[in-house]
Amino acid sequence: MSTINQEFFRYLTVLAMCSMAFADNGNGVVVTARSSDDCQVTPVIHVLQYPGCVPKPIPSFACTGRCSSYLQVSGSKIWQMERSCMCCQESGEREASVSLFCPKAKQGEKKFRKVTTKAPLECMCRPCTGIEESAVIPQEMSNYAADEPPINGHFSKSI
């Protein structure tokens, strides 16, 4: 198998593994297409924890959804591949201070500890960064009713 055929076969294999759609752009070059971006702020329950304190679940937010990514043969250098990897990420953040009850506080220490937490202000598709998968901790998604009051009243904007 020639080098170009091997590269093209590898290209098709990568595309199939990414479960993207294939289409011929009219010039005999296979390009990929994916459904439109769907990246949004989603309500979640975040459990705040601190050693010696009672864990406290609070309403918070996370970025969830999908963004377009592709891998294709370069238009100018057909022996090279062009990649574009987009991820659903925060654009600005909210900050909140929450008090945790600490019943095991030693004498002279406060029974309540103030902790600060952050959540995304907005979400958008942005170039993916090198975040290690082990550093991402999944949160429980909450099912808020549409008629409930907004839960962002305790967050302040910090861009």
Instruction: Please count the structural domains in the chain.
Output: 1
- For the segment 96-121, the average pLDDT, to the nearest whole number, is 91
CATH number at residue 106: 2.10.90.10
pLDDT of residue 131: 53
pLDDT of residue 79: 83
Asked whether residue 40 is domain-assigned, the answer is yes
Asked whether residue 104 is domain-assigned, the answer is yes
* Among candidate residues 89, 99, 80, the one with its CA nearest the CA of residue 127: 89
Asked whether residue 31 is domain-assigned, the answer is no
- pLDDT higher than 70, residue 119: yes
Out of 6-15, 43-52, 145-154, give the one with best mean pLDDT: 43-52
- For the segment 85-96, the average pLDDT, to the nearest whole number, is 92
Asked whether residue 22 is domain-assigned, the answer is no
- pLDDT higher than 60, residue 47: yes
Could you give the CA distance from residue 15 to residue 23 in angstroms, rounded to a whole number?
Answer: 11
* Among candidate residues 67, 96, 80, the one with its CA nearest the CA of residue 4: 80
pLDDT category of residue 132 using cuts at 50, 70 and 90: low
Asked whether residue 44 is domain-assigned, the answer is yes
pLDDT of residue 4: 42
- pLDDT higher than 60, residue 103: yes
Q: What is the DSSP string of the chain?
A: --HHHHHHHHHHHHHHHTT-EEEE-SSS-EEEE-PPPEEEEEEEEEEE--TTS--EEEEEEEEEEE---EEEE-SS-TTSEEEE-EEEEESSEEEEEEEEE-TTPPTTS-SEEEEEEEEES-EEEEE-----GGG----EEP---TTSPPS-TT-EEE-
**79 or 58, which is more confident?**
58
pLDDT category of residue 84 using cuts at 50, 70 and 90: confident
Sorted by sequence, the CB contacts under 8 Å of residue 71 that are 6+ apart come out as 11, 14, 15, 18, 32, 81, 82, 83
Could you give the CA distance from residue 102 to residue 55 in angstroms, rounded to a whole number?
Answer: 9
Asked whether residue 62 is domain-assigned, the answer is yes
pLDDT of residue 130: 61
Q: Which domain holds residue 134?
A: 36-142+151-158
Asked whether residue 8 is domain-assigned, the answer is no
pLDDT (tens digit per residue) in 19-42 = 333 444 454 554 444 457 899 999
